[in-house]
Chains A and B, each alone.
Chain A
């Protein structure tokens, strides 16, 4: 069975500072990995995804993430955050190539709170 762990429930950071949101996963099969963002009272929007190839993935809004197979991690980073980045961030995993479905397993989320 697959699972995702986001150890940090909340990450406070000052505007223009760098940030890293941590994500670790467990799976017995190959995986696809995703980061989604949820703004208050809205649905989820895809930030970026890793399917295969380069382990450094760039997404929207200046975010990037690095897939580390040996550490089973997929941490999200941004070199300089803005107030508008304040939101809940979810890491998710699904079966990789050859998998039967797009079913996603989500972590519990990390609230990124950007302060002026």
Chain B
């Protein structure tokens, strides 16, 4: 039973390039969350998506960052025109439900580590 799969595990980009990070949730999970972990800091919420819908993007930077979770395929976090400050570990998590009856737990992938040169 595969867990949350993220790729690539490591990504190196030069300033101004685009970074695309992919996340396949656990089987049967339709809710995806993206978090960013900066060096020496905790995890900061970025965005919460369900299939074809962005539910909560309160943690997303206003510019250059976007996320999607299409009907088919993985969720994608896209960072355009990367800058050195974007260097971080980006974690995806999934859950089977939301609202009433949920158990609250998020299942995390192993992260994608972005380095911007």
Contact = CB atoms under 8 A, between A and B. Distances in A.
Given A102-B98, A102-B104, A108 B42 contact: yes
Contacts of A36: 108
A63 interface: no
Nearest to A109: B42
Contacts of A105: 45
Chain A interface category by residue count: 20 to 34
Given A101-B56, A101-B98, A108 B41 contact: yes
Contacts of B45: 103-106
A44 B91 contact: yes
Interface of B: 4, 31, 33, 35, 41-45, 48, 55-56, 91, 93, 95, 97-100, 102-111, 113
5 contacts: A43-B109, A102-B105, A102-B106, A108-B41, A109-B42
Interface of A: 6, 32, 34, 36, 41-46, 49, 51, 90, 94, 97-109
The 10 closest A-B CB pairs, nearest first, are A32-B104, A108-B42, A43-B110, A43-B108, A44-B108, A106-B43, A106-B42, A102-B95, A101-B98, A109-B42
